[in-house]
Every structure is written in C-alpha cells, then in structure tokens.
A and B are shown apart, each in its own frame.
Chain A
Amino acid sequence: MKKLATYGIKPHDAEVKADGQKWSLMEKLLLGLTLDQYLDQLKRNKFNWLLALIFAIGIPVIIYRFIFGLGVVTHASYDYPWGLFLGFGLFCMVPLSASGFMLGTTVEIFGRHDFEPIERLALLNGLLGYFFAVVYLLVDLGQPWRLIYPMFVSWGPAAVLFLVGWHVATYLSVQVMEVSTAFFEWIGFPRGYEFIRKGTVGLTVSGIILSTLHQGALGALFTYAPGKVHPLWYSSSFQWIHYFTSSIPAGLCMVISVSTIVILTMKWRCDDRFINNLDRITLSLAKGAAMGLITYLFIKLLAVAHDNEWAYIATGWGAWWLFEMLAGVLLPMFLLAVGIHNKNVLLCRIGAFVTVFGILLNRLNTALITFNWQLYQEIPHMWEIVISITIFAIYVATYRFILNRLPILYQYKAQAVEEGVAVEAEQKAAVNA
C-alpha cells in the first residue's frame, strides 16, 4: 500500500478529488486503484498470503463444524462445556474492546477533545471486538439460530448471561451507531452523520452503563462455579470488579497496541493530525492504563485477603497465579510507569502489548486453565484452535479493510487539496460536517 504513490494516486480522504470530481463508490472501495492494480498490491503483501493460508485451512473447518456439529471440532466435553471459542473469543475479546466506551467517555463526556484523533480508532476497536466476540459465540452455541431467543422468545432475567446477552446486543447497536458517523462521511450521507451526532452523549452514556455491567457480568458468570474455578481466580464479591477494572487497562492498551501496528504498517492512511498526536496520546493512554493496572492489582490482592486464600499461593497453582500477577500486571505496570516518566513512547507500547498478554492470560486462566482445577486439565481440540485462529484472522482482515477506507485514522475533507493548504481544508470540512 505504500506503493499507492507509485500508481500516482493520493489516498481517498475527501468527498471530492483535487480535480473537482467526486469519488465513485468503486473507487472508494478500491482505494482509487483499478481492479488490476488493487489485486496486484494484494498479492504483493506477504501478510495477505498468511491470511490466505489461514482461511484456506480454517474456513473449511468452520463449514465442517456447521455441517457435522460441535462434536467434531471440539472434545465435546461435559466437564469443559466452554472451550476456546468462549474462553478466548468472548472472555478475551470483550475486555480488549473496552476501548470504545473509555475513549467515548473521555472525549464526549469529559470533553477531552485532545484525545479526539484516536477516538474513532478506539470506537472501531470496540465495535469489531464485540462483533467478533459474537461471531465466536455463534460458532460455539449449540443452536446459534436461536441467538435471539433470550430477547424475544423466553426470558431468564435472573441469569447473568441474560444481562450479558442483552447488554452486548444493545451495546453492539450503540457502537454501530457511533462508528456509523465515519461510515456516513465516507459514503457521503451527511444527514445520517448529523442525526447520529445529535445523540452522541446519550449513546456514550448508555455505552458506559452497558459496559460497566457486561464487563463485570462476564466475571460474574464464573461466580456460578465456586467449586470449579480455582480460589485464587475466584471471588464471589470481587469477580465482577476484577473483570470491570481490568477491562480498563485492557481496552486502553489494545488501542495503544493497534495504533502501534497501524503506525508501523499503514502510515500512508494516517493523516498528520493522527501521526503528530499519537505519541502524546499514547503517553496519556498509558497513564490511564497504569492507573487501571494499579487499581486492578490492589483489588486482586484484596480479594485474596478477603477470602483468606494466602495458603494457596504456596501451591503449584499459586506459582502460576504469581506468574500471572508478575508477568501480566506488575511487569507492564513497571514498563508503563518508566515509559511515562521518561516520556518513552516505545516502552509504553511494549508495556501495552504485555498488558494485553496479561489480560489474555487472566481470562484464559479463569475460563480454561484453572477451571476444574480439582478434576483435570484439557488441551483444546486441534480444530477448535484452528477455528479460533481463523476467526481472529477474519477479524484482523476486517479491521484492516475498514481502516484502509473509512475516516478512522484520518479526517474526512470536503475536497482534496494540494499539500500546504490542509488547514484551510480542515476548516471547510468542519463547516461541511
């Protein structure tokens, strides 16, 4: 894509081209390239080959699962009813997607418009994370076509999962609306954009409510299994707080991680506003993440003290717990703190990646690794792993597809302009909006 310039093409970033012509939908989709040029650059990118390989193996396996049932791609375990699809797909993707509501809150509620350059990336990260969590869920459900049953057919309102279902569904619509502003700009439908913008505060506030509750609810789901989750990962009083609190650094660090990948691999798509503000924003987000991690660590210890589980730390599971705490919480906290102190963006970025790892570890530990600690451990079925990787690859491909097109990393302008008059164009864009 860096070679876009070699085709003599300026990336699509405005409703009207520099020569006064409007972009057609096809041009927008193909990034202004011809179909041949577009396919050429697709083939040139090694990462696409990796994706193609994953799809070639994984998509048939997904089809296989829907033709022959869950039993052929999982261990069909009665003791581990939830495998990787939920353990990774739901319990990991959702906290990593908490970015949407956090940046939404920061910008829209607290009026911190200095975070605006990254707000849309955070919102998109949230939307896609949730959307693909639902995709994982659809693969995992025995009867996915009944997904709407808890909404319309039969209510079980005392169940935590009922809350999760409703909230994820509602929040997904909220996020679709939030991100739709970027889509309306891109497609050229300013009235849709205007309509959604008017409800922004309402949408954002409901986003906070829904997020607080369902991030917590995912943790509360495990309070149904007091004998099954290891005591160090279980707390009937604090489980939901653990999940909610850790979703804050999770979401923020996911944004830092994604923005790092973006700035390294698709800088052409980022406008100056994004590029010039990113270091500053990364440090600010890192600050938030570090605060979140400290709070999280504190409540984790509080829970152990509250249930008096110190004795467990001396066991093998305790060593594993200590590893999670050290590598997944303390280490990133340290990296972020040093990074913030020295204004070292690289260190903050490494810290963010480690935080994401720590969250993955925590969720997998609760849902799979320490689950049934008194029975036996189970390594997920090979096809289960393949399907999980495949869906993640589809997630990455979708993410990139959208970032390449919609005004997420750049601001949409009314008319493309030559270099040097960008400020004027930005003002025009504002008027247009």
Chain B
Amino acid sequence: MSKISRRKFLAGSVAGGAAVMMTPAKKALAAGSFEGFPDGMGVLVDFTRCVGCRTCEAACNKEQNLPAPAKPFDDYSVFDEIHHGQPRRPTSKAYTVVNRYETKEEGPVFRKIQCNHCNEPACLTSCFVNAYTKTPEGAVIYNSKVCVGCRNCMIACPFHIPGYTYESVINPVIKKCIFCYDTRLKEGRPPACVESCPQQVMTFGKRAELMNIAHERMRKNPEKYVDHIYGEKEVGGTGWFYISGVPFEELGFDTHLPKEPIINNVKDFLAVVPMVLAIWPALFTGFHLLATKGKSHGHGDDHSHGEEGH
C-alpha cells in the first residue's frame, strides 16, 4: 500500500516534466519574419535570353567536381527525356539542369533549374540537426558532417531541389547547388554557371539591386515579359528569381506556392508547443488530485473493479 506523499508526488511530476522542458521549443517561434540578409547576393534569371546551350550544366559539373554525365553536355536529346512524366530535375550528380518547354506564345522556351537559395529556406527550417545555413552572402549551404539522413529537407523543399546519394553506404549526404559558396561566392565571385553563360541569362549581384533591374527590364519592355517576378515573393522570396516571356505555369513552375515562408505554415503548431508544455502539467496533475481525492493513489491495490461505474 504505497501512498505517495505530496512532496514525492510533486518530485515525480517535476522529474517527468523536466524531461519535457529540456526540449527547447521557444527558439522555434523566433523564426519567420526574416527577409534575407540586406547585402545578400542573388541571381536574376531572364528566360527570354536562354537558348538551351547547357553550358551552365557543364560549368557546374566541372566546378563542383561532379561525376561524368550520362550524355555529353552538348547533347540536346536530354530535353526529350521524361521520367515519371516529368522533365529532368536536379540530382545528386547534377546540381543544375536546363529543360525545354513548348509554349503557346514563344515556341520552345528553356528554363534553368537549381537551388533558389530562399531567404527563409524550408530545408533549413525543417532540419533537426541544423545542417543548413543561409550565409550572409546569400547562399544556402549544407554541412554533411551533422546530417543524419532523415531527408526532411527533401520533403520540405517546395522546388524539389535537394538530391541524396542513396547509393552511398557509409556516408550518404544531401547534394545540391550551394551557389559555388566555397570556391567562388565567398570571394565575391559569381557562381560558375553564371560566368559561363554566353547569353548572360543570369545576372549576378546584390539581390535588392537585381530586383530593381528586373523591374526596370519589365518596365522598359512590357510586351516582352509577363508581369511577374517569380521568386520576388514566393515562399518569402528567393535569392535566385526569374523573369519570363511566357506564363510561369508553362515553364513548370508551381505558381500556387504561398507568398510567405514555408515555416509560416508550421507556426500554428509551433505556437501550441510552449502552451502544452506550460499548461498540461498543472492541468493534468490537477485532474489527478480532483479525480482521486480521498482515494488511494497507489497501484496494485486491491481495487474492486467496476464499482466506480462509467
């Protein structure tokens, strides 16, 4: 017959509660209103200029020491490749790909795909070991040393960017465009793809400045561009953003993405966490005291079952 004293009882709750309180949930609420580093670099991508030469793919392959491609970079049959009804996407072996889309207005239009280096990246906010970093220079980089391989970032990325080296046994890691951070961006130089482009489809510079240029291009040539800068607002703004002569849906862009960062969708839940942590212990121990008032708290006592009714 073990009747718990009040003190022991409280100690029990505190011990149980302490395990819960260890979880730092507060910091979660701090995220969400981040607009990007003021001097963060970005890239303005103008699809009206792209001719689909795939030189950027070759440049990326060389700069990032990626494995040899399955087909030469001047083989344009890749534009006809369809996997699961989808055109090519970035993989662990190719951080950027150029696809061709048949459009009503302009015929074939080419689109380069790579990490968009979001202002508030979903991959970063979804990572439970903080493997991702948005650098002040504007790159979203990844630390493979701490990655556990849960692949939540791949779930979270609204642009289907991160690739994973599933084939590796000992050290599978995420592989994605890192804005050539280590080799170039850190020194203020543009990524290899940007530099290689013969058409300057991509313009490298401070994101804020590029945004003005994008608006200016559209103002000067309103008939040439659709009136939308993809990435100006999408998921809270992206470091790489796009202007185009055809509607973005026709280039395979998801135009239904929310304007606010992905993490905002999670906030409803994150807001609940501290409340549960704060209220539940008192609430349920209170219930316990009320429900068992005047009765024994012990277990293994000889209860006559069923008499309490229901």
Contact = CB atoms under 8 A, between A and B. Distances in A.
Interface of A: 66-71, 74, 76, 78-79, 81-82, 105, 107-114, 116-117, 140-144, 146-147, 149-150, 153-167, 170, 173-174, 181, 194, 197-210, 212-213, 216-217, 219-228, 236-237, 239-240, 273, 277, 280, 284, 287, 374-376, 378, 426-427, 429-430, 433
Contacts of A199: 11-12, 15-16
10 contacts: A74-B166, A76-B166, A142-B173, A198-B2, A203-B16, A206-B19, A212-B276, A223-B268, A223-B269, A224-B156
B220 interface: no
Interface in B103-161: 122, 125-131, 143, 146-152, 154-156, 158, 160
Given A70-B172, A143-B172, A209-B276, A161 B302 contact: no
A109 to B, nearest CB: 4
A237 B272 CA distance: 11
Closest 7 CB pairs of A and B: A142-B149, A202-B12, A206-B16, A202-B16, A76-B166, A71-B166, A81-B151
A202 B277 contact: no
Contacts of B166: 69-71, 74, 76, 142
B24 interface: yes
B307 A153 contact: no
Interface of B: 1-2, 4, 8-9, 11-17, 19-20, 22-25, 27-28, 30-31, 84-86, 89, 91-92, 122, 125-131, 143, 146-152, 154-156, 158, 160, 162-164, 166-169, 171-173, 254, 256-258, 262-266, 268-270, 272-273, 276-277, 280-281, 284-285, 287-288, 291-292, 295, 297-303, 305-310
B152 A226 contact: no
A367 to B, nearest CB: 9
B310 A227 contact: no
Contacts of B168: 69, 71, 142
A346 B49 CA distance: 70
B155 A201 contact: no
B129 A150 contact: yes
Contacts of B292: 111
Contacts of A108: 288, 299
A157 B274 CA distance: 13
A284 B310 contact: yes
A222 B269 CA distance: 11
A182 to B, nearest CB: 11
Nearest to A105: B284
B259 to A, nearest CB: 12
B300 to A, nearest CB: 4
A287 to B, nearest CB: 8
A159 B146 contact: no
A224 B299 contact: no
A309 B83 CA distance: 30
Given A156-B127, A430-B300, A202 B305 contact: no
A42 to B, nearest CB: 33
